[in-house]
Structure 1
Amino acid sequence: MRYFLLLLSALILASPADARTLYYGGRAGMEVTIVKKSGIGTSHASVLTKHTRQNAIGFCRDYVGKVTEDCIAKELKTPLHLEIIADCKSGKFTTFYGANMLFQGRSPAGGATDYLITDTDENVVLDGSGASGYDYTLDQFKALCPNRVK
């Protein structure tokens, strides 16, 4: 029972709202480290991150399969917006790639995804595929507005 409670508490702490890192992309190790959170769940939610050497090592190890100084340097040059923001009431938010998104709540029954998220820059609904970035985009929104996603 004690092991189960420890495992459960670890899983709860790993939720996007409580995470220490957030994925910025769909490949293994594409993570940034959370530095500061403010206004979570409000109309002025913000998560400030940094792209650390440890994040880059994780990417090189887990995705590339080899940790080299060249791989680390290249990964650290990935152009990212290190702060994501949201208006949790309207559902408008930004991603680490600087895209403007709109969280529109639950998908209709039988939809390809649990939630509707629209890339308002491209006027495209994320379809749930890896190419659309649905999973990590939803996790970014969850980190900003955890009460909007169950």
Structure 2
Amino acid sequence: MRYVLLVISALFLAFPANAKTIFYGARVGMKVTIVKKSGIGTSHAVVLTKHTRQNAIEFCRDYVGKVTEDCIVSEMNTPLHLEITADCKSGKFINFYGANMLFQGRSPEGSPTEYKITATDENVVLDGSGASGYGYTIDEFKLLCPNRVK
């Protein structure tokens, strides 16, 4: 029963539609706090975030396993673009790392991911692995363009 509750809790936290925080990376606790949303679902969708001390403390506690001032400072200094943007019509968006991405709709049958996303700077399709960043990248797009991912 506890496992089921943990899974449900994790799904709730990962679902970006009503999120107060959103993941910027694949590790536990790699989150930023949402400050403002505008133009959601349009060609000028913007989400402004802040990397708070509380976000850093949660990362240090949940991922590193020890909350120290050095850990908090290091996490707070993670180089991020705290504003993510999208043109929901074209599917072009920019993630927290400043990478240009392209949402291309549902993946063909047999693909490892539900949706096809290409990192256009490298011309690489995200394959769904943790290393590709697919999980948090699709959540960023869902937050910006919820009408494109049903």
**Which TM-score applies when normalising by structure 2?**
0.91
- 1:87 aligns with 87
What secondary structure, in the 3-state scheme, does the structure 1 residue paired with 2:74 have? helix
Is the alpha carbon distance of 1:97 and 1:42 closer, same or farther for their aligned partners in structure 2, counting shifts above 3 Å? same
Gaps of 5+ in 1: 1-7
Offset of residue 15 of structure 1: 2.8
Report the identity percentage. Answer: 79
Cα distance in 2 for residues equivalent to 1:14 and 1:110: 24
Match of 1:37, SS state, is strand
The 3 A distance-change label for structure 1 pair 13 and 72 is: closer
Map 1:70-109 onto structure 2 (within 5 A): 70-109=70-109
Give the superposition deviation at 1:147. 1.0
Secondary structure in 2 matching 1:19: coil
Q: In angstroms, what is the RMSD of aligned CA positions? A: 1.5
SS in 1 for 2:48: strand
TM-score with structure 1 setting the length: 0.91
Give the partner amino acid of 1:53: R
Is 1:112 aligned to 2:125, yes or no? no
Give, in whole Å, the separation in 1 of the partners of 2:19 and 2:121: 27
Q: What's 1:21 paired with?
A: 21
How far apart are the structure 1 equivalents of 2:104 and 2:17? Answer: 19
| Paired position in structure 1 for 2:66 | 66
2:27–2:63 Cα contact (<8 Å) kept: yes
Gaps of 5+ in 2: 1-7
1: CA distance, partners of 2:31 / 2:124: 24
Return the alpha-carbon distance in structure 2 between the equivalents of residues 85 and 99 of structure 1.
11
Distance (Å, rounded) in 1 between the aligned partners of 2:14 and 2:139 = 11
Count of aligned residue pairs for this structure pair: 141
Offset at residue 18 of structure 1 (A): 1.4
State the partner residue of 2:143: 143
Quote the residue 2:45 is aligned against: 45
Q: Secondary structure at the match of 2:102?
A: strand
SS in 1 for 2:135: helix
